Amino acid sequence: MPEKKITTDSGIEIRKIYHAEDLPPGSLDHQEPGEYPFTRGVQPDMYRGKTWTMRQYAGFSTAEESNKRYHYLLSQGVMGLSVAFDLPTQIGYDSDHPLAEGEVGKVGVAIDSIEDMQALFAGINPEEVSTSMTINSTAFILLAQYVVMAKQKGADLKKISGTIQNDILKEYAARGTYIYPPKPSMRIITDVFEWCSAEVPKWNTISISGYHIREAGSTAVQEVAFTLSNGKAYVQAALERGLDINVLGKRLSFFFNAHNNLFEEVAKFRAARRMWASVMKSMGATDPRAMMLRFHTQTGGSTLTAQQPLNNISRVTLQSLAAVLGGTQSLHTNGFDEALSLPTEEAARTALRTQQIIAFESGVADTIDPLAGSFFIEALTTELEEHAWKLIGKIDAMGGSVSAIEQGFIQDEIARSAFEYQRQIERNEKIIVGVNSFKTSESGTIPVFRVDDSIRQVQILKLDAFKNDRNPAMVDQVLQDLNDKAASGENIMPAVIDAVEKRCTLGEIADELRSVFGEHK
C-alpha cells in the first residue's frame, strides 16, 4: 500500500525525512543576519539586542474608552499601540451617517474628528510610543489627525514613529473597505509617501498586508506572492512620481499572518525576506536597508474557534512562536475569546503574557534564526519561494497587481483556496481540534465583551457640539481648497492637514474627495 502523501497547507509535499542532499546548492553559503538577502533576519543581532515590539491591537466604543485600554496595556508591558477603527471610520462615514447605524464603535473605535483623536491619545506621548493604525481607504485622514494631535501636544514631527496600513490593493482583493477607484487610491498613497518622506521621516508610510489575504482564505504561498506583488505595484507608483527608492524602501513595512503549521510559517517569513530583497534590487535599490523586508505579525484570527475557546491559547502560542522563529519585528497576539467577541481585558492580558513568556522564558530569542541549517527548514524555504515566484510571474504577465485585481485573478485564487480548505475540514482530511474532532458537550460559558448601540448616540452628540464650535465659512473654504488640489493633481496631504486643523470631520473630508474621484463599485 503506497504511503500517504503529506503536504503543508499550501500543498507543498513534505518528505518523510530530509538530508543534506535535499538542500539547493549553496543554500547555506554567505547567509548572515543583517546582510543581503536577509534570509536570516534584518538585524545583525536580532533579539539579542532588542526584543520584537509587543503590540496589542485594540480599539472599541469611544475614544475615551479605548484610551483607558491603551493605558492599561502600556502598564502591562506593551511597547507599542495598535489601533483598531470601527467600520464607518474605515470607509469614510461619520457616526451620524445613516450607513453608520449599528456599526459605531463595534469592531474598533469611532474617530470622527480631531477631538476624538485627542481623546484617544490623552496622556500618551507620541514621541515615546510607536503607534500602528490599521486603516486603509481613510489612512491619509487618520494620519493627518494624528499629526495635528502630535503638533498640538508640542511633539517634534521628526521624532514621532508609527505605521499606517494604507494598503488599498488588498482591500479590493480580499477585504472590501475601499472608497475610491484603484487609480485615485494609488495616487493618494503616493501623496502620503511623498509628504511623509519630508515631514515625518520616521513614519512607516505603508504596511503592505498579507494578513487579510490569508484571513480571506489564501495559502501561505499565495499570501507571500500576492503581498509582494502589491508591494511591487506601490514601489512602481512611487518611482513614477519621482521618489527615491533608497529613501522610500526604508519606510515600507509589511504585515503578515501566522497560522498553525509551524514550519511552513517559519519558512514563509524567511522566503519573503529573501524575495523582497531581490525585488527591490531588481527595481533599482542600491542601499541594503531599502531592500530589507521589515514586518509586523498578527496571529491568525480565522484559526480561532468558538468551540472550546481556551484551546485558542495553544494556537496563539504556536503562531507566536512561528513569528518569532521567523524573525518578526513586532507582534500582536489574539485573545482566546476573539471568535466570540472583542477581547476582554483578561483575554488581552493573557495574549500579551504569551508573548512575554516566549521572549523571557523559552530561550528562542537567545540566538538568531535558530532553525537555520535544518535540512527541512532550508528545503521548505526554497520550495515555498519557488512556488511564490511562479505565482508572481503569472501576475506580472497580466501587467501587475492592479491589473490582476481588475481581472479578478487574485480574488478567484483566494476563493478557490478557501473553498478547498473548508472542504478538507468537512471531509475530516484536516483536523481542527474541538470542531471536527475531539469534541465535547460544552457547558461552561466564557464572558464576552459587548459594545452597546447607545455609543452611536454619544458620538452624534459629540459631533453636534464639535460642529457648533467652528467657523462654517472656513470649513467650506478648506474643503473647496481640498477639492481643487485633488482635481489639479497636487499633493493633497497639506490640504487634508489644513482641513483637520480647521475642524472638518473625517466624513466631510472623505465626501469631498468622493465628489472628485467617485466611488469604486
Taking CA 143 as the corner, what is the angle to CA 151 and CA 193, rounded to the nearest 5 degrees?
Answer: 110
Whether residue 513 has pLDDT greater than 80: yes
Average pLDDT of the chain to the nearest whole number: 95
Least Cα distance to 479 among 455, 442, 507 occurs for 507
Name the band, by pLDDT with cuts 50, 70 and 90, for residue 56.
confident
Looking at residues 10-19, what average pLDDT do you find?
Answer: 95
| Cross-strand bridge partners of residue 252 | 206
Secondary structure letter of residue 136 according to DSSP: S
Between CA 432 and CA 23 the distance in angstroms is: 32
pLDDT for 450: 82
Whether residue 1 has pLDDT greater than 70: no
Whether residue 156 has pLDDT greater than 90: yes
pLDDT for 30: 65
Whether residue 521 has pLDDT greater than 90: no
Name the band, by pLDDT with cuts 50, 70 and 90, for residue 29.
low
pLDDT for 59: 85
Least Cα distance to 131 among 234, 51, 230, 59 occurs for 59
Looking at residues 318-325, what average pLDDT do you find?
Answer: 98
210-239 pLDDT, tens per residue? 999 999 999 999 999 999 999 999 999 999
Between CA 452 and CA 61 the distance in angstroms is: 8
Walk across the sheet containing 330-332 and list its strands: 203-204, 162-164, 130-134, 80-84, 53-58, 330-332, 295-299, 252-258, 206-209
Burial class (CB in 10 A: 0-12, 13-18, 19+), 415: middle
Whether residue 498 has pLDDT greater than 80: yes
Between CA 485 and CA 456 the distance in angstroms is: 33
What lies within 8 Å, CB to CB, of 195 at 6+ separation is: 491, 493, 494
What lies within 8 Å, CB to CB, of 361 at 6+ separation is: none
In the structure grid, which three cell numbers stand for residue 166, read together? 494604507
Whether residue 339 has pLDDT greater than 70: yes
pLDDT for 130: 94
Between CA 297 and CA 178 the distance in angstroms is: 23
Looking at residues 337-358, what average pLDDT do you find?
Answer: 94
68-92 pLDDT, tens per residue? 999 999 999 988 899 999 999 999 9
Whether residue 57 has pLDDT greater than 90: no
pLDDT for 362: 97
Whether residue 2 has pLDDT greater than 80: no
DSSP 3-state assignment of 165? coil
212-248: buried (b, 16+ CB within 10 Å) or exposed (e) per residue?
bbbbbbbbbbbbbbbbbbbbbbbbebbeeeebebbeb
Whether residue 28 has pLDDT greater than 80: no
Whether residue 368 has pLDDT greater than 90: yes
Q: At 143, give phi and psi (nearest 5°).
A: -60, -45
Dihedral sign computed on CA atoms, order 32, 37, 41, 46:
positive
108-149 pLDDT, tens per residue? 999 999 999 999 999 999 999 999 999 999 999 999 999 999
In the structure grid, which three cell numbers stand for residue 139, read together? 489612512
pLDDT for 102: 94
The region of weakest confidence among 25-39, 280-294, 474-488 is 25-39
161-190 pLDDT, tens per residue? 999 999 999 999 998 999 999 999 999 999
